Amino acid sequence: MPTALPPAARDALLAWYDARGRQIAFRASRDPYAILVSEVMAQQTQISRVVPAWIAFLERFPTLQTLAAATPAEVVRAWRGMGYDRRALNLRRAAQAIVVEHGGRLPEDVAALERLPGIGPYTARAVAAIAFGRPVGAVDTNVRRVLGRALGLGAGASPAATRAMQAAADASIEPARPGDWTHAVMDLGATICRPRSPRCADCPIARWCRSAGEARPAKRPEPTAKRPSVPFESTTRWLRGRILDRLRSADEAAWTTIDGPIGGHDAAAVTKAVAALASDGLIEIDAEGDRLTARLATG
């Protein structure tokens, strides 16, 4: 079984990317800091929402130094509309670590990048490849699907399967164009090698793919029972977002009364969500008798 895409497949994929790759604003940047911001923002967020938020965030914090010097409240306000707000605080912490430990320059090697707050294996490798031209493979959901199908690696998530996938990604990368290669595999997964009904007839690497023409990967994961769909408004994530939006709309240092219910969440659920947001470092709380007040974290 092959453990990497052959050179001819790499050439075909890059030719396809050159002709049909997605034109996304942040791909034109060569600023390592801007690339880091884009990769953090793109986690679990649609690209259409990332682009305007990325532009606005960099206008507010144009350098690592300005981000490192900002308060949590300023960063969380600038993150409005993106969701998963802990990413914003982790990005600020990473900027502070870069200023203190790396002289204000984003480190180039994967190991140093992974030691930064909130930076995991995927983000570290994506930044290393795109910003610094390091020949390392970044494995996200799209890359895992493309290589899993093409090389017959399956969809397992065990430590051994994860190591095999990372090794395949590293071995498959085009060393002369690691940044473009990273974007190319992601684009192929997002537009052609889709989870359902992949467009194999349009795939530039179909002739080298072990799963071409099949509706699913060569190795199928064990079926799991479907969980019932839950309305987003009933989730804790929705509630946390509404609380943060209320505080974002308040004056910078003002204390705001937070009481329930909010939507379908009763007072107990609201109090629990407020406490969790404070534990995450996103907000500060002050309880006076039966009144609970909060504001975005200031330090």
What domains can be seen in the chain, in order of their start residue? 7-208 (1.10.340.30), 232-296 (1.10.10.10)
| Least confident range of 146-150, 170-174, 220-224 | 220-224
What number of CA atoms fall less than 13 Å from residue 170's CA on the CB side?
Answer: 13
Structure tokens that stand for 179 in this block:
């940044």
- Please name which of 198, 53, 42 lies closest in space to residue 123, comparing C-alpha atoms: 42
pLDDT of residue 250: 86
β-strand partners of 296: 283
What number of CA atoms fall less than 13 Å from residue 79's CA on the CB side?
Answer: 30
* Arithmetic mean of pLDDT over the chain: 90
Please give the Cα distance from 87 to 82 (Å, whole number): 9
pTM of the model: 0.84
Does 39 qualify as catalytic in the annotation? yes
pLDDT of residue 253: 73
286-299 pLDDT per residue, tens: 876 668 889 998 87
Mean pLDDT value of segment 175-186: 96
Q: Which of 39, 74, 174, 284 is catalytic?
A: 39
Mean pLDDT value of segment 23-32: 94
pLDDT of residue 219: 45
CA dihedral 234, 242, 282, 82 (to 10 degrees): 90
Helix extents (H) in the chain: 7-20, 32-42, 47-60, 64-69, 72-78, 86-101, 110-114, 121-132, 141-151, 159-172, 178-191, 236-248, 267-279
Asked if 67 and 34 touch (Cβ cutoff 8 Å), the reply is no
Please give the Cα distance from 270 to 240 (Å, whole number): 8
pLDDT of residue 75: 96
224-242 pLDDT per residue, tens: 555 667 788 889 889 998 9
Whether residue 63 is predicted with pLDDT greater than 50 in this model: the reply is yes
What contacts 265, CB < 8 A, 6 or more positions away?
A: 234, 239, 273
